[in-house]
Amino acid sequence: QVQLVESGGGVVQPGRSLRLSCVVSGFTFSSYGMHWVRQAPGKGLEWVAVIWYDGTNKYYADSVKGRFTISRDNSKNTLSLQMNSLRVEDTAVYYCAREIGRSNYADLGYWGQGTLVTVSS
Amino acid sequence: EIVMTQSPATLSVSPGERATLSCRASQSVSSNLAWYQQKPGQAPRLLIYGASTRATGIPARFSGSGSGTEFTLTISSLQSEDFAVYSCQQHDNWPPKVTFGGGTKVEIK
Protein backbone atom coordinates (compact mmCIF):
# COMPACT_ATOMS: atom_id res chain seq x y z
CA GLN A 1 0.00 0.00 0.00
CA VAL A 2 1.01 3.61 -0.50
CA GLN A 3 3.01 5.00 2.40
CA LEU A 4 4.60 8.39 2.99
CA VAL A 5 6.70 8.91 6.09
CA GLU A 6 8.04 12.32 7.02
CA SER A 7 10.94 12.98 9.34
CA GLY A 8 13.31 15.76 10.31
CA GLY A 9 11.04 18.01 12.32
CA GLY A 10 12.06 19.52 15.63
CA VAL A 11 12.71 22.72 17.51
CA VAL A 12 14.95 25.28 15.84
CA GLN A 13 15.87 28.90 16.51
CA PRO A 14 14.78 31.69 14.18
CA GLY A 15 17.21 32.18 11.32
CA ARG A 16 18.47 28.61 11.43
CA SER A 17 17.92 25.78 8.94
CA LEU A 18 16.19 22.41 8.94
CA ARG A 19 15.79 19.67 6.36
CA LEU A 20 12.67 17.53 6.14
CA SER A 21 12.50 14.20 4.39
CA CYS A 22 9.62 12.10 3.14
CA VAL A 23 10.34 8.48 2.30
CA VAL A 24 7.70 6.78 0.20
CA SER A 25 6.83 3.20 -0.66
CA GLY A 26 4.12 1.20 -2.34
CA PHE A 27 4.15 3.06 -5.67
CA THR A 28 6.48 4.21 -8.44
CA PHE A 29 7.77 7.43 -6.90
CA SER A 30 9.24 8.71 -10.17
CA SER A 31 5.78 8.81 -11.77
CA TYR A 32 4.10 11.36 -9.50
CA GLY A 33 4.26 15.01 -8.62
CA MET A 34 4.85 15.63 -4.93
CA HIS A 35 3.87 18.50 -2.65
CA TRP A 36 4.61 19.86 0.78
CA VAL A 37 1.66 21.30 2.71
CA ARG A 38 1.85 22.76 6.21
CA GLN A 39 -0.59 23.51 8.99
CA ALA A 40 0.18 25.95 11.80
CA PRO A 41 -1.24 25.01 15.21
CA GLY A 42 -4.99 25.49 15.19
CA LYS A 43 -4.95 26.93 11.67
CA GLY A 44 -5.89 25.84 8.18
CA LEU A 45 -3.84 24.14 5.51
CA GLU A 46 -1.21 26.09 3.59
CA TRP A 47 0.41 24.82 0.42
CA VAL A 48 4.21 25.16 0.48
CA ALA A 49 5.75 23.73 -2.69
CA VAL A 50 5.48 21.25 -5.55
CA ILE A 51 8.01 19.32 -7.59
CA TRP A 52 7.27 17.65 -10.87
CA TYR A 53 7.53 13.85 -11.13
CA ASP A 54 10.95 14.13 -12.80
CA GLY A 55 12.19 17.09 -10.75
CA THR A 56 12.27 19.44 -13.75
CA ASN A 57 9.86 22.00 -12.33
CA LYS A 58 9.41 23.39 -8.84
CA TYR A 59 7.04 26.04 -7.54
CA TYR A 60 6.69 27.68 -4.17
CA ALA A 61 4.24 29.67 -2.11
CA ASP A 62 5.24 33.32 -1.89
CA SER A 63 5.64 32.95 1.88
CA VAL A 64 8.57 30.53 1.48
CA LYS A 65 10.02 31.44 -1.91
CA GLY A 66 13.74 32.10 -1.69
CA ARG A 67 14.03 30.39 1.70
CA PHE A 68 12.77 26.85 1.07
CA THR A 69 13.94 24.37 -1.57
CA ILE A 70 12.04 21.26 -2.59
CA SER A 71 13.94 18.36 -4.13
CA ARG A 72 13.60 14.66 -4.79
CA ASP A 73 15.81 11.64 -5.28
CA ASN A 74 13.87 9.16 -7.38
CA SER A 75 16.53 6.49 -6.87
CA LYS A 76 15.95 6.66 -3.10
CA ASN A 77 12.18 7.25 -3.11
CA THR A 78 12.76 10.38 -1.10
CA LEU A 79 11.27 13.86 -1.18
CA SER A 80 13.02 16.65 0.72
CA LEU A 81 12.37 20.18 1.89
CA GLN A 82 15.36 22.32 2.80
CA MET A 83 14.19 25.18 5.00
CA ASN A 84 16.56 28.09 5.53
CA SER A 85 16.17 31.40 7.38
CA LEU A 86 13.36 29.97 9.43
CA ARG A 87 10.85 32.31 11.03
CA VAL A 88 8.51 31.91 13.98
CA GLU A 89 5.61 31.89 11.50
CA ASP A 90 7.04 28.76 9.84
CA THR A 91 5.99 26.78 12.92
CA ALA A 92 3.64 24.07 11.67
CA VAL A 93 3.07 20.42 10.98
CA TYR A 94 4.57 19.71 7.57
CA TYR A 95 2.95 17.08 5.38
CA CYS A 96 4.24 15.54 2.19
CA ALA A 97 1.50 14.56 -0.22
CA ARG A 98 1.17 12.76 -3.55
CA GLU A 99 -1.07 13.53 -6.45
CA ILE A 100 -3.58 10.84 -7.34
CA GLY A 101 -2.50 10.70 -10.96
CA ARG A 102 -0.19 12.23 -13.56
CA SER A 103 -3.09 14.21 -15.00
CA ASN A 104 -4.45 15.24 -11.60
CA TYR A 105 -2.32 18.21 -10.68
CA ALA A 106 -2.62 19.04 -6.96
CA ASP A 107 -5.33 16.47 -6.27
CA LEU A 108 -3.62 15.17 -3.17
CA GLY A 109 -4.90 11.72 -2.47
CA TYR A 110 -2.08 10.40 -0.31
CA TRP A 111 -0.56 12.09 2.72
CA GLY A 112 2.07 11.37 5.30
CA GLN A 113 1.41 11.62 9.01
CA GLY A 114 3.21 14.96 9.25
CA THR A 115 6.26 16.19 11.10
CA LEU A 116 6.18 19.13 13.51
CA VAL A 117 8.56 22.05 13.04
CA THR A 118 8.75 24.56 15.88
CA VAL A 119 10.68 27.77 15.35
CA SER A 120 11.35 29.43 18.67
CA SER A 121 14.12 31.17 20.51
CA GLU B 1 -3.16 35.37 -5.85
CA ILE B 2 -6.49 33.59 -5.79
CA VAL B 3 -8.18 33.70 -2.39
CA MET B 4 -10.53 30.92 -1.34
CA THR B 5 -13.26 31.83 1.16
CA GLN B 6 -15.29 29.16 2.91
CA SER B 7 -18.58 29.63 4.70
CA PRO B 8 -19.77 29.18 7.28
CA ALA B 9 -16.77 28.86 9.56
CA THR B 10 -18.72 26.45 11.76
CA LEU B 11 -21.81 24.44 10.86
CA SER B 12 -23.85 22.73 13.57
CA VAL B 13 -25.80 19.77 12.21
CA SER B 14 -27.67 16.85 13.73
CA PRO B 15 -26.80 13.30 12.65
CA GLY B 16 -28.89 12.29 9.66
CA GLU B 17 -29.35 15.86 8.47
CA ARG B 18 -28.00 17.40 5.29
CA ALA B 19 -24.95 19.68 5.39
CA THR B 20 -24.12 22.22 2.73
CA LEU B 21 -20.69 23.86 2.71
CA SER B 22 -19.67 26.73 0.45
CA CYS B 23 -16.38 27.76 -1.10
CA ARG B 24 -15.90 30.92 -3.12
CA ALA B 25 -12.89 31.83 -5.25
CA SER B 26 -11.77 35.43 -5.76
CA GLN B 27 -11.53 34.72 -9.50
CA SER B 28 -12.47 31.83 -11.72
CA VAL B 29 -10.67 28.55 -11.06
CA SER B 30 -12.68 26.64 -13.67
CA SER B 31 -13.19 23.17 -12.17
CA ASN B 32 -9.77 23.01 -10.51
CA LEU B 33 -11.33 22.53 -7.10
CA ALA B 34 -10.88 19.81 -4.49
CA TRP B 35 -12.40 19.16 -1.08
CA TYR B 36 -10.63 17.58 1.88
CA GLN B 37 -11.81 16.25 5.22
CA GLN B 38 -9.58 16.46 8.27
CA LYS B 39 -10.11 15.06 11.73
CA PRO B 40 -8.09 16.11 14.80
CA GLY B 41 -4.57 14.70 14.77
CA GLN B 42 -4.96 13.23 11.29
CA ALA B 43 -3.77 14.16 7.84
CA PRO B 44 -6.31 15.52 5.36
CA ARG B 45 -8.30 13.08 3.23
CA LEU B 46 -9.22 13.85 -0.37
CA LEU B 47 -12.99 13.69 -0.87
CA ILE B 48 -13.70 15.43 -4.17
CA TYR B 49 -11.55 16.59 -7.09
CA GLY B 50 -12.38 18.30 -10.35
CA ALA B 51 -15.18 20.02 -8.38
CA SER B 52 -17.48 17.00 -8.56
CA THR B 53 -15.60 13.69 -8.85
CA ARG B 54 -15.52 11.57 -5.73
CA ALA B 55 -12.12 10.18 -4.82
CA THR B 56 -11.64 6.45 -4.49
CA GLY B 57 -13.51 4.97 -1.55
CA ILE B 58 -15.52 8.09 -0.72
CA PRO B 59 -19.16 7.35 0.13
CA ALA B 60 -21.89 8.55 -2.21
CA ARG B 61 -23.36 10.80 0.49
CA PHE B 62 -20.54 13.24 -0.34
CA SER B 63 -21.10 15.30 -3.48
CA GLY B 64 -19.48 18.36 -4.98
CA SER B 65 -20.80 20.90 -7.42
CA GLY B 66 -20.00 24.25 -8.97
CA SER B 67 -17.54 25.82 -11.36
CA GLY B 68 -15.88 29.16 -11.86
CA THR B 69 -16.03 30.92 -8.50
CA GLU B 70 -18.81 29.20 -6.54
CA PHE B 71 -18.55 25.66 -5.21
CA THR B 72 -20.55 23.50 -2.83
CA LEU B 73 -19.85 20.35 -0.87
CA THR B 74 -22.98 18.51 0.22
CA ILE B 75 -23.16 15.71 2.73
CA SER B 76 -26.60 14.25 2.22
CA SER B 77 -27.07 12.53 5.60
CA LEU B 78 -24.44 13.18 8.22
CA GLN B 79 -22.94 10.18 9.93
CA SER B 80 -21.05 10.33 13.21
CA GLU B 81 -17.74 9.91 11.40
CA ASP B 82 -18.40 12.96 9.23
CA PHE B 83 -17.94 15.51 11.99
CA ALA B 84 -14.66 17.11 10.99
CA VAL B 85 -13.11 20.14 9.29
CA TYR B 86 -13.62 20.46 5.53
CA SER B 87 -11.29 22.50 3.34
CA CYS B 88 -11.52 23.46 -0.29
CA GLN B 89 -8.43 23.86 -2.47
CA GLN B 90 -7.83 25.31 -5.90
CA HIS B 91 -4.89 25.27 -8.24
CA ASP B 92 -3.92 27.80 -10.87
CA ASN B 93 -3.11 26.61 -14.36
CA TRP B 94 -0.01 28.81 -14.60
CA PRO B 95 1.96 29.32 -12.49
CA PRO B 96 0.62 26.18 -10.89
CA LYS B 97 0.20 27.50 -7.36
CA VAL B 98 -2.22 25.98 -4.91
CA THR B 99 -4.48 27.70 -2.40
CA PHE B 100 -6.59 26.31 0.42
CA GLY B 101 -9.65 27.84 1.97
CA GLY B 102 -9.77 28.47 5.70
CA GLY B 103 -11.99 25.49 6.42
CA THR B 104 -15.50 24.79 7.74
CA LYS B 105 -15.89 22.87 10.95
CA VAL B 106 -18.91 20.58 10.95
CA GLU B 107 -19.92 19.92 14.54
CA ILE B 108 -22.67 17.98 16.24
CA LYS B 109 -25.76 20.02 17.01
Q: Sort out which chain B residues have CB atoms less than 8 A from A95's CB and list them.
A: 43-44
Tell me what the mean pLDDT of segment B28-36 comes to. Answer: 96
Give the pLDDT confidence score for residue B93 in this predicted structure: 80
Q: Is the pLDDT of residue B14 over 90?
A: yes
| Buried/exposed B54-64: b ≥16 CB within 10 Å, e otherwise | bbeebeeebbb
Asked if residues A87 and A18 have their Cβ atoms less than 8 Å apart, the reply is: no
Give the pLDDT confidence score for residue A25 in this predicted structure: 98
Q: Sort out which chain A residues have CB atoms less than 8 A from B96's CB and list them.
A: 50, 59, 105-106
Asked if residues B100 and A44 have their Cβ atoms less than 8 Å apart, the reply is: yes
Which of A100, A111, A114 is nearest residue B55 as measured by Cβ atoms?
A: A100
Q: Is the pLDDT of residue B63 over 90?
A: yes
* Confidence tier at B94 by pLDDT (50, 70, 90): confident
Give the pLDDT confidence score for residue A31 in this predicted structure: 95
* Confidence tier at B38 by pLDDT (50, 70, 90): very high
Burial of B51 (0-12, 13-18, 19+ CB in 10 A): buried
Which residues of chain A register pLDDT less than 50? none
Nearest Cα of chain B lies from the Cα of A100 at a distance, in angstroms, of 9
Which of B38, B43, B87 is nearest residue A113 as measured by Cβ atoms?
A: B43
pLDDT above 70 covers what percent of chain B?
Answer: 100
Give the pLDDT confidence score for residue A103 in this predicted structure: 86
Nearest Cα of chain B lies from the Cα of A1 at a distance, in angstroms, of 14
Interface of A with B (CB under 8 A): 35, 37, 44-47, 50, 59, 61-62, 95, 100, 104-109, 111-114
* Confidence tier at B95 by pLDDT (50, 70, 90): confident
Complete DSSP assignment for A64-89: TTTTEEEEEETTTTEEEEEE-S--GG
Q: In terms of residues, how long is chain B?
A: 109
Between chain A and chain B, how many beta carbons pairs sit less than 8 Å apart?
A: 64
Give the pLDDT confidence score for residue B44 in this predicted structure: 98
**Summary mean pLDDT of chain B:** 96
